[in-house]
Structure 1
Amino acid sequence: MQVNRNNSEKLWTKDYWLTFIYAMSTSIASNMLMTGLPLYAIHLGGDSSISGMLFGFFMFVAILFRPYFGKLSDEKSRRIVLIIGAVTTAFITLSYLVAFSISLLLILRSLHGIGFSATTNASGTIISDIVPKSRLAEGVGYFGLSSTIATAVGPALSIYLIQQFNYQILFIVAGLIGLLSIVCSLFINYEKRNPTFVGKATERKTKRKISELLFEKTAIPTGVVTAFVYVGMGASLTFIPIFALSLGIEDIGLYYTFYSFALLFTRIVGGKLADKYGSSYVIIPGLVIMTLSFVVLANAQSLGGFILSGVLYGLGLGSVEPALNAIMIKLCPPDRRGAGNSTFFTAKDIGGGVGAIALGFISLHAGFKAVFLYSALCIILAFLAYVFILRRQMRNVKRDEELKLQANIV
């Protein structure tokens, strides 16, 4: 498979807009369920450990399918994966209407991971194809606004529908929003078939090991940092509504609203700063701010404390995530971006999934304060991994490029 390269500096093309709307609609539906399903599990008689398992099983199934979708995306078509993800996600979302037991809820949530795996892998890969290289961090950062808007809308809408109506209305609305992604996927068609390219790709395929077909080694250092960062994301999405409920705090949807506005701000300016000054300029301060956000959250006793934590978390994550994504794309060979995105998102899934399950059991035995302090520790580990692993890889790649340039000049 070969794709058209965007040789101009135009960013907001038709395919960029369609992919943006696709990602936004699937993310809104996903965030509605991330917030609503833990509460629904408690409604059915579960506890916070079940809430963690819902998130963890979802992520682990996504991990299992990411290599397959990355391979399919590179060797066949990004669009096929895009459509598979949209249809699967919409169908499973509507299927929650018949989930009247914890066991069935866990099964459906696990299957939902297949759709999540396909949608995020394909949309991220398409963006890496169509964004001009000189505006990579900026383009990735703007694309991240789709998830930012989803985080602002999804959790608050979920809580509103539960409070004003019921869980069945939540699942119907989320499913209808997900249907929009199917429409968008049918109109994204920028790929071109090239027999020569396909022949070469097939030849490379026979020479590669299975592991090389499923994962991209250049994306692993970025993935290590990302995995530690996303332990905190799993904690944030899964346990904050339950933590607030235990404290008798209402209107917790405001946490996600303020978090989203802060995330929006840093995504707009962070990508430009990373392109202009370098990744470390935004990643290191972002990790420090994220650590502080979890310390504040662990000690929060009022809605104001939650909101302050949300603002800090949004500022930090909005700086860190698009910069890490851009680093992965820069280090990854163009014909391996599907596998690269699979590796990158697998790292997110591992961090979020392991974090949700482990922290769910920690919440039962040590309380929610311990949950968020462990999350802060994971951000510190992400900082160490960035400084001592990822930056070394970036320096080595830059040195190799300079040596090749010198050799060509000579």
Structure 2
Amino acid sequence: MVEKSPIWTKSFINISISTFFIFTVFYALLTYIPLHVMEDLNGTVTEGGLATSVFLVSAIIMRFAAGMILDKFGNKQVLVFSVLMFTFSTILYIFVGSLTMLLLLRFFHGIWFSLVTTVAGAIAADIIPPARRGEGMGYYAIAMNLAVVAGPFIALTMQPLAASQTIFIVFSVIMVIGFICVLFVQVEQFPKEAAVRRKLSISNFLETKSMPIASVGFLISFAYASIITFISVYAESLGLLQTASFFFVVYAVAMLLVRPFTGRIFDGKGPDYVIIPSMIIFALGLLLLSFTGSSWMLLLSGALIGLGYGTLLPSFQTLAIQAAEKHRSGYATGTFFAFYDSGIAIGAASLGVMAGFLGYSGLYMFLAVFILLTGIYYKWITSRTIDTGKG
């Protein structure tokens, strides 16, 4: 019997820990900045939302240049420098005392978030043995999923107990540890001839082979934007705001329980055996959410969404990387997240308008059908562009 190549190498562990800290700070700031704007900078709710939008805009713009930057400077160099700058940006929050400076910092910070998450995802994919990439990327995605719980928990726990400078110092310490971790990541360097010089074209910015599956990721993240943007507002309207604080805890636990199995099924039987059931479960979670009237229903919907959406993200990222040549994994990762981030941003902006017409219950019912239709689109896309068979 042939021994499996290991996933949990020193480099993989360090890149995963660093990614966890990066996303923890990202989600902590996402939760805390609007409160900071309103309570410490005398801003409005709209200005608090603007601080989030500015960050996402710079991140999306940077996605399109990320692959080219990795080609020019190398994965390890870009990893170390981008994490260093992300850490430096986090430290700067301690000294910002006006809304204008905060918005400029959020734009600056978004650049480095975009670059570091692109290069870290590409490096993680390269470190993982190709035959176990579905399983390995599933484990890597745990770092991001756990941060969804850890970041807001830290921010909301500290917010009533500490001054803003103290909270930003804690975020900075977390990132210093994350920076130390990336120094121990060993990265394979591709030969120079692998990066072919071309005239300026779309391939300088995006991986065209990854775009079809990235478009599916866009539709999934568009629907998921309704969860991260409106779940607390919807829960409050139902009188379930206290329960909502446990929504993502249940989400994370459900996701963690299935992650060791889904990755192996992905590698052993093929992506369809994971993606199609996950889309159905995600749709069921959204449907249950539309009928929610009690705490147990809200938490059960969180579990279903964790099982469904929590499995889809690493699956699509893996397919996007597998669609490209190995030396273009950075382009593939950047392309996938450019589409993914755009889905979140457009969803957050447009679904609020839709909720005004349909109500939140009607919105989640609509999105349940939307996800099932996305599943049909996925099958059409993969039948035309990529092999979703075994291995």
TM-score by structure 2 length?
0.88
Q: AA paired with 2:152?
A: P
Whole-angstrom CA distance in 2 between matches of 1:342 and 1:34: 21
User: Deviation at 1:244?
Assistant: 3.5
CA contact (8 A) 1:156 1:254 kept: no
Correspondence for 1:408: none
CA contact (8 A) 1:286 1:319 kept: yes
1:22 aligns with 2:18: yes
Helix, strand or coil for the counterpart of 2:183?
helix
User: Deviation at 1:83?
Assistant: 2.2
Gap change, CA 1:239 and 1:167, over 3 Å in 2: farther
Correspondence for 1:73: 70
Correspondence for 1:33: 29
Q: 1:261 aligns with which of 253, 259, 264?
A: 253
Whole-angstrom CA distance in 2 between matches of 1:100 and 1:367: 38
Helix, strand or coil for the counterpart of 2:246?
helix
Whole-angstrom CA distance in 1 between matches of 2:233 and 2:38: 9
User: Deviation at 1:158?
Assistant: 2.0
1:344 aligns with 2:336: yes
Give the root-mean-square deviation of aligned CA atoms: 2.8
Whole-angstrom CA distance in 2 between matches of 1:299 and 1:188: 46
1:234 aligns with 2:225: yes
Whole-angstrom CA distance in 2 between matches of 1:368 and 1:325: 29
CA contact (8 A) 1:279 1:323 kept: yes
Correspondence for 1:252: 244
Q: AA paired with 1:23?
A: T
CA contact (8 A) 1:32 1:154 kept: yes
**Cα deviation per residue 1:181-220 (whole Å; 9 max; x = unaligned)?**
2112222233347xxx32x246x21x35431111111100
Q: 2:311 aligns with which of 319, 323, 333?
A: 319
Correspondence for 1:405: none
Q: 1:330 aligns with which of 318, 322, 325?
A: 322
**Cα deviation per residue 1:61-102 (whole Å; 9 max; x = unaligned)?**
112111322112133211222123322322333333455555
1:172 aligns with 2:169: yes
CA contact (8 A) 1:56 1:357 kept: no
Whole-angstrom CA distance in 2 between matches of 1:89 and 1:302: 41
User: Deviation at 1:282?
Assistant: 1.1
Whole-angstrom CA distance in 2 between matches of 1:290 and 1:142: 20
1:211 aligns with 2:202: yes
Gap change, CA 1:163 and 1:137, over 3 Å in 2: same
Gap change, CA 1:93 and 1:220, over 3 Å in 2: same
Q: 1:111 aligns with which of 108, 112, 120?
A: 108
Comparing 378-387 with 147-156, which one deviates more in the overlay? 378-387
Gap change, CA 1:394 and 1:77, over 3 Å in 2: same
Gap change, CA 1:52 and 1:232, over 3 Å in 2: farther
Q: AA paired with 1:87?
A: L
Gap change, CA 1:376 and 1:93, over 3 Å in 2: farther
Gap change, CA 1:349 and 1:253, over 3 Å in 2: same
Count, aligned residues: 385
Comparing 13-22 with 94-103, which one deviates more in the overlay? 94-103
Whole-angstrom CA distance in 2 between matches of 1:172 and 1:251: 29
User: Deviation at 1:166?
Assistant: 4.9
Whole-angstrom CA distance in 2 between matches of 1:15 and 1:28: 20
1:222 aligns with 2:213: yes
CA contact (8 A) 1:290 1:379 kept: yes
Identity %: 28
Correspondence for 2:179: 182
Whole-angstrom CA distance in 1 between matches of 2:5 and 2:73: 27
User: Deviation at 1:156?
Assistant: 2.1
Comparing 137-146 with 370-379, which one deviates more in the overlay? 370-379
Structure 1: any 5+ residue segments left out of the alignment? 1-6, 399-410
CA contact (8 A) 1:215 1:340 kept: yes
TM-score by structure 1 length?
0.84
Correspondence for 2:81: 84
Helix, strand or coil for the counterpart of 1:191?
coil
Q: 2:379 aligns with which of 369, 382, 387?
A: 387
User: Deviation at 1:236?
Assistant: 2.2
CA contact (8 A) 1:263 1:314 kept: yes
**Cα deviation per residue 1:354-389 (whole Å; 9 max; x = unaligned)?**
112223455567654455445445434432321211
User: Deviation at 1:59?
Assistant: 2.2
CA contact (8 A) 1:39 1:242 kept: no
Whole-angstrom CA distance in 1 between matches of 2:251 and 2:140: 17
User: Deviation at 1:286?
Assistant: 0.9
Q: 1:154 aligns with which of 129, 151, 154?
A: 151
User: Deviation at 1:41?
Assistant: 4.7
User: Deviation at 1:312?
Assistant: 0.9
Whole-angstrom CA distance in 1 between matches of 2:54 and 2:256: 29
Comparing 215-224 with 51-60, which one deviates more in the overlay? 51-60
Whole-angstrom CA distance in 1 between matches of 2:357 and 2:48: 15
Comparing 251-260 with 31-40, which one deviates more in the overlay? 31-40
Whole-angstrom CA distance in 2 between matches of 1:327 and 1:317: 15
CA contact (8 A) 1:231 1:375 kept: no
Q: 1:272 aligns with which of 264, 268, 272?
A: 264
Whole-angstrom CA distance in 1 between matches of 2:55 and 2:226: 14
User: Deviation at 1:320?
Assistant: 1.4
CA contact (8 A) 2:37 2:43 kept: yes
